[in-house]
Amino acid sequence: MLGKEERDAVLRVIESGVLSGYRGSFGPWFYGGEEIKALEKEWAEYFHVKHAIATNSATSGLWLACAAIGLKPWIWNSKIRNYDPDLQEVIVSPYSMTCSASIPLHFGAMPVFADIEPDYFCLDPKSIESKITPNTKAIIVVDLFGQPYDADIINAIAKKHGIMVIEDAAQACGAKYKGKYAGTLGDIGVYSLNVHKHIQCGEGGIVVTDNDDLAFKIRLLLNHSEAVMNDMMRQGSKNEAFKADWVSLIGLNLRMTELSAAISREQLKKLDSILKVYQENAKYFPIKVRPECTSAFYKYAWGWNDKPVTEELWNNSIKNLKRHYITPLYQLPLFRQLGYDQHQCPTCEEIEENIVLAWFREAI
């Protein structure tokens, strides 16, 4: 779905001569260039969220979310090397792209795998609650295959235990849970603009939140916070977002370019029409959608045991049909060496053994 609109947007940026409007210091340039600011405004308006912050990938967005909620950097938590049971913990999905489970390790936090739902493939609330300990700092939920997580129940569990919910909505751009957009259901949401997603700029991401403090911390962390905070203190800044204890934040350069932002703005305009194609295709497959929700159908997923439909599709050699999605993450070498039980999420393992996947970016 890349066309003349994206080409014109790229040319507009090139002719402006400004490929990035960011600087790692405090001032108007702290917020990026005109394309970045316009994209963030348009994204926030579309998804009905207070803050939208562009970044260079959804993986960076997850890192920013974990840093913003207060997970400590690796250098502050050497216990990770001894796998101390008193480490900070983050509950994660075993059935997802690896980054949603590996990002906590960057902070010396241990990922704790909860099992998934048999019908919708998202984290199972009952399994989540059974995994919570006094060390649990957050839950990273994944809206897998475009299906929103069970927000009412999981958010209530998180509130009861005083922990944060980070929503990985990389596959669910435009999906809704009871009328509210996926990505805006938790404390922080993360979208992907990777080349494989519903809309894309090659590589990119958006982080959203309604929390003012979290939003400003994310902006600091993606843009050399230690330098920016120094500028703010030297200038005697009266910025309402300023918090003196944020001087300890260690930032990175996770900024999006003006070129990527310009492409993303044009792609966002096409999201509704792209979703219609995905949702129209879904009628050909035996897919269950959570009640009162819509799915973005990043992939069409169902069980092999749904014999009548599955065998007909398989025998007709429908394009883009395959078995299996991803090895349960705790069985990967990275997590095996950390001593994870290799059979700790039975529903996940059964689903991976029996799942069928299809995917289409154009109408069938």
Active site residues: 197
Which residues sit opposite 53 in a β-bridge? 207
- What would the DSSP string read from start to end of 275-332? HHHHHHHGGGS-----TTEE---SSEEEETT-HHHHHHHHHTT-TTEEE-----GGGS
Angstrom distances, CA of residue 66 to CA of 11, 139, 319, 339: 36, 10, 39, 23
> What is the token pair recorded at 333?
């070498």
3-class SS shares of the chain: helix, strand, coil, % to 5: 45, 15, 40
The residues, any chain, with a CB within 8 Å of residue 48's CB and separated by 6 or more, are 180, 181, 184
Cβ pair 66, 110 in contact under 8 A: no
Element (H, E) at 126: helix 125-131
Q: Which amino acid is at 75?
A: I
* 3-class DSSP assignment, residue 155: helix
> What is the token pair recorded at 170?
């990389």
**DSSP type of residue 109:** P
Nearest CA to 300 out of 316, 288, 315, 308 is that of 288
